[in-house]
């Protein structure tokens, strides 16, 4: 069915099917964004892991409206191996299309049921078809609005919601099909949009971002922690946490944390105090505790343990770049590529993949236990937890 109309207007965006709806929020069509900034991005991400940590799957999709690009990636990790498929295409006349080559994102029931699929492809011998079903409502994180140190340029202005649920479906690895059932797996997803850091190659005639992204990322000591997880008490009551913590040279420049409940209530965290340990070589999470000092008083402490050996590394999905490639880069009508890493514990390989990974975790708070994932970057020397500058990697 035709869902766009070509016109010759210079100051109004293309008229598309979405414009029939009564949901406009700027004085333009749905084919326009509120800003022409090249960093404007709408991003989809999900990670699902077996609860024993033996198998992990990731999926991501990005729409870069002002760059004319949509890209995505999918990965499977088992043992010490990771298979990754990336796809990139030009935006087409229908902005509601959410596929990139073999990558498929489908909204089945808004805010409750979503499908992620990787069709069989020539890049790597992996495929999957997963349906996410929510266990919690979606929750916003604090707006990530970050101004550069000079006080002028805004480097980031993004809103993001995340959601915890269970997956069902299947994954295929080199011809072996494995069922994904809700009893053995857990899944986490998020959706963000706005002016995003680290999109596209850094322009040499623009001052680099100073805290995250662009050419300056990784200079000096840097810490990034991002984690959603859910706990269930013996009586069946559930609650969840989410926190996002970033610090550079001891200065916390972004922190968001909440204790979330199934009825939609959120208890704000005033301060997140991580007490975690990491392997010096490879910077993999080993475990520890996270203390949540609550805005209304009191502290909740959650014990963290690593669930298993696998974790999808996000570098091959172009997070922070990979082999000189960046999110949102123009590649023409369609490009599909990928690679397999046989041993991502090898330091040379890990430097190429980067340390950012979706690590499956086990969590405990009192008699409530549960599962989650934790993304971490621990860069530079941290002698208080035994990390040396010599083994620092991005």
Q: Tens-digit pLDDT profile for the chain (394 aa)?
A: 455 555 566 788 878 888 888 888 888 888 888 888 888 899 999 999 999 999 999 999 999 999 999 999 999 999 999 999 999 999 876 778 899 999 999 999 999 999 999 999 999 999 999 999 999 999 999 998 877 777 777 878 889 999 999 999 999 999 999 999 999 999 999 999 998 888 887 777 877 665 555 445 556 688 999 999 999 999 999 999 999 998 887 788 889 999 999 999 999 999 999 999 999 888 999 999 999 999 999 999 999 999 988 999 999 999 988 998 999 999 999 999 999 999 988 888 998 999 999 999 999 999 999 999 999 999 888 888 888 888 888 8
| CA-closest candidate to residue 57, choices 160, 161, 184 | 184
Measure the CA–CA gap between 384 and 214, rounded to whole angstroms: 29
The pLDDT score that the predictor gives to residue 253 is: 84
φ, ψ (nearest 5 deg) of residue 390: -60, -30
Measure the CA–CA gap between 309 and 359, rounded to whole angstroms: 9
- The tokens describing 7, both together, are 């016109």
Q: Are 76 and 82 in contact (CB under 8 A)?
A: yes
Question: In angstroms, how far is the first alpha carbon of the chain from the final one?
Answer: 47
Q: Establish how many alpha carbons lie within 13 A of residue 262's alpha carbon, considering only the half-sphere containing its beta carbon.
A: 10
Measure the CA–CA gap between 351 and 344, rounded to whole angstroms: 9
Q: Establish how many alpha carbons lie within 13 A of residue 35's alpha carbon, considering only the half-sphere containing its beta carbon.
A: 15
Which residues, in sequence order, are bridge partners of residue 308?
none
- The tokens describing 343, both together, are 């041993």
- The tokens describing 50, both together, are 């077996």
Cα–Cα separations (whole angstroms), residue 106 to 44, 103, 249: 11, 10, 41
Measure the CA–CA gap between 110 and 106, rounded to whole angstroms: 10
Fold of domain 11-23+36-199+217-391: AttH-like fold (2.40.370)
Q: Are 353 and 341 in contact (CB under 8 A)?
A: yes
Measure the CA–CA gap between 257 and 238, rounded to whole angstroms: 17
> Burial, 42: exposed, middle or buried (Cβ in 10 Å; 0-12, 13-18, 19+)?
middle
Which residues, in sequence order, are bridge partners of residue 299?
293
Longest dimension (CA), the chain: 65
The pLDDT score that the predictor gives to residue 209 is: 67
Residue carrying the six token digits 């013996």: 234
- The tokens describing 37, both together, are 């900034």
Q: Establish how many alpha carbons lie within 13 A of residue 84's alpha carbon, considering only the half-sphere containing its beta carbon.
A: 23
Measure the CA–CA gap between 12 and 32, rounded to whole angstroms: 8
- Every domain of the chain and the residues it spans: 11-23+36-199+217-391
DSSP tally for the chain: helices H, then strands E: 1, 25
Q: Establish how many alpha carbons lie within 13 A of residue 393's alpha carbon, considering only the half-sphere containing its beta carbon.
A: 23
At 350, which helix (H) or strand (E)?
Answer: helix 347-353
- The tokens describing 129, both together, are 């078809």
Return the C-alpha torsion angle 392, 187, 247, 196, nearest 10.
100
φ, ψ (nearest 5 deg) of residue 348: -60, -45
């Amino acid at each position: 069915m035709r869902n766009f109309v070509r016109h010759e207007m210079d100051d109004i965006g293309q008229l598309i099917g979405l414009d029939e709806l009564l949901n406009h929020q700027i004085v333009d069509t749905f084919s326009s964004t509120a800003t022409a900034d090249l960093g404007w991005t709408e991003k989809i991400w999900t990670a699902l892991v077996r609860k024993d940590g033996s198998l992990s799957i990731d999926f991501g999709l990005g729409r870069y409206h002002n760059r004319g690009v949509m890209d995505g990636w999918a990965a499977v990790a088992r043992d010490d191996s990771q298979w990754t498929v990336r796809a990139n295409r030009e935006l087409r006349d229908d902005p509601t299309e959410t596929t990139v080559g073999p990558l498929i994102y489908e909204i089945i029931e808004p805010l409750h049921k979503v499908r992620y699929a990787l069709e069989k492809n020539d890049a790597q011998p992996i495929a999957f078809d997963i349906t996410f079903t929510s266990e919690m409502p979606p929750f916003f994180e604090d707006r990530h609005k970050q101004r550069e140190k000079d006080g002028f340029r805004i480097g980031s202005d993004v809103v993001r919601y995340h959601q915890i649920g269970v997956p069902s479906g299947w994954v295929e690895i080199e011809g072996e099909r494995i069922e994904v059932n809700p009893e053995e797996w857990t899944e986490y997803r998020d959706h963000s949009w706005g002016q995003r850091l680290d999109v596209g190659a850094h322009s040499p005639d623009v001052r680099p971002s100073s805290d995250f992204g662009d050419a300056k990322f990784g200079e000096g000591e840097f810490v990034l922690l991002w984690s959603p997880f859910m706990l269930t008490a013996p009586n069946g009551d559930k609650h969840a946490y989410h926190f996002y913590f970033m610090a550079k040279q001891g200065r916390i420049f972004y922190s968001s944390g909440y204790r979330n409940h199934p009825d939609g209530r959120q208890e704000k965290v005033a301060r997140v105090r991580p007490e975690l340990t990491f392997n010096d070589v490879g910077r993999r999470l080993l475990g520890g505790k996270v203390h949540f000092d609550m805005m209304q008083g009191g502290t909740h402490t959650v014990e963290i343990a690593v669930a298993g050996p696998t974790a999808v590394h996000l570098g091959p999905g172009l997070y922070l770049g990979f082999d000189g490639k960046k999110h949102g880069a123009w590649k023409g009508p369609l490009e599909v590529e990928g690679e397999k890493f046989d041993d991502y514990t090898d330091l040379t390989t890990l430097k190429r993949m980067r340390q950012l990974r979706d690590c499956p975790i086990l969590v405990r708070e009192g008699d409530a236990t549960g599962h989650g994932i934790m993304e971490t970057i621990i860069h530079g020397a941290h002698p208080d937890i035994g990390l040396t500058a010599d083994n620092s990697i991005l």
